[in-house]
Amino acid sequence: MRRRERRQRMLCLRVLGLASALAVAGAARAGDGALEINQTCATSTAGCFAGDVGGAFPVEIVDPPPARSFVLTSDLVLPNGVGAIRISTSSLAIDLNGFAIVGPVACSGTPPVCSGSSAHGIGVDDALLRAGITVRGGTVTGTSTGLSLGIGASVRDVRAIANLLHGIAVGDGSRIERCVSAGNGGAGASTGSGAVQVVSSAFCGNGGTGLSIGFGSLARGNAIYENGRSGIASLSRSELAGNAVLYNGSSTGDAGIECAGVCLIQDNAVRSNVEHGIDPGTGAFAHNTVTANDVAPMTSGPSPQNLGGNHCAGTGTVSATCP
């Protein structure tokens, strides 16, 4: 009897040991080999993996990284003033795995008024140096900028909601696809001066510009709705095509779509924006409908090339085929 009890106790101790080992192991791998990031390891003294100091957020992914593939295995709920994941290396992927990064920032109203203190939800230490970061499949809310990922980044199936500054910030050569960025205090997405692709995404109710993109970018098939400043603001040599751009802007100088330079602006529905419909710069525009905008369909200024198929209507319209 005593022998059986002793064996039972030993078994319990073994299970306890195993559980403890699992809890404190430096790096846990998901079934697919990706390194796990979760609330427990993020706040444990051991950290999530090599290079992560541990004890508190943010989880640090340093150079060289302990792996190139990471996966969230819980929500990450942040205290004041810090972000969730800080990356000081390049070429890695983070699968949010359906989980949410939840910071303390709160936003309300349209345009949103945000308060609270946080760092970027997922951020790189040097946006001009870090390259090739992929983030997919989850939510980032209540942080400073939701995702701040550097150059050559890829963001897919992410919802960036109600962050203090921008929803998504990426650099030259990046791609944003099937994302929702809404209710953020700054821009829905901001990409600096670099060339990016932004496709099939929704940017709604942000305090700043819906989508702010750099030289040589492509914005196609996006819904840009009710943002506090211009709907799409692009630097030169970009193509802005097939977007629905409604109810954006709040002050002089805003437009549904604006290009600072030479862009191709085609196939967009630009309607009911607070100032002008399109500020086309000196590029070309074709097959847009520019209607019911508060000031005028197009800004006056340097003459862009009307390639035909445009339709303008509403206040300030000079020609139904646009100027």
Query: In one letter, which amino acid is 17?
Result: G
Rounded Cα distance between 304 and 285, Å, is 7
Instruction: Compare residues 178 and 237 and give the one whose CB is closer to another protein.
Output: 178
Comparing CA positions, the residue from 88, 53, 48 lying closest to residue 70 is: 48
Of these, 99, 132, 149, 150, which contacts another protein (CB under 8 A)?
A: 99
Q: Nearest-5° angle of CA 91, CA 92, CA 97?
A: 155
Residue 9 sits at φ, ψ, to 5 deg, of: -65, -40
Give the three-class secondary structure for 244. Answer: strand
291-310 positions binding another protein, by CB under 8 A: 291-292, 308-310
Q: Does 139 sit near another protein (CB under 8 A)? A: yes
Q: Does 93 sit near another protein (CB under 8 A)? A: no
Q: What is the DSSP string of 192-225?
A: TTS-EEEES-EEES-SS-SEEE-TT-EEES-EEE
Instruction: Compare residues 90 and 184 and give the one whose CB is closer to another protein.
Output: 184
Classify 47 in phi/psi space as left (phi over 0), alpha (psi -120 to 50) or beta.
Answer: left
Instruction: Compare residues 173 and 186 and give the one whose CB is closer to another protein.
Output: 186
Q: How far is the CB of 95 from another protein (least distance, A)?
A: 9
Q: Does 141 sit near another protein (CB under 8 A)? A: yes
DSSP 309: -
Sign of CA dihedral 288, 183, 230, 284: negative
Instruction: Compare residues 138 and 194 and give the one whose CB is closer to another protein.
Output: 138
Q: Does 100 sit near another protein (CB under 8 A)? A: yes
Of these, 137, 261, 316, 323, which contacts another protein (CB under 8 A)?
A: 137
C-alpha separations of 249 from 282, 296, 299 in Å: 21, 13, 14
What x-and-dash track marks residues 187-206 binding another protein by CB under 8 A? -------------xxxxxx-
Q: Does 182 sit near another protein (CB under 8 A)? A: yes
Q: Does 24 sit near another protein (CB under 8 A)? A: no
- Residues at the contact surface with another protein, assessed by CB under 8 A: 8, 11-12, 15-16, 19, 30-32, 36, 38, 71-75, 97-100, 102, 137-139, 141, 157, 159, 161-162, 178-180, 182-183, 200-205, 221-226, 242-247, 267-272, 287-289, 291-292, 308-311, 313-314, 320
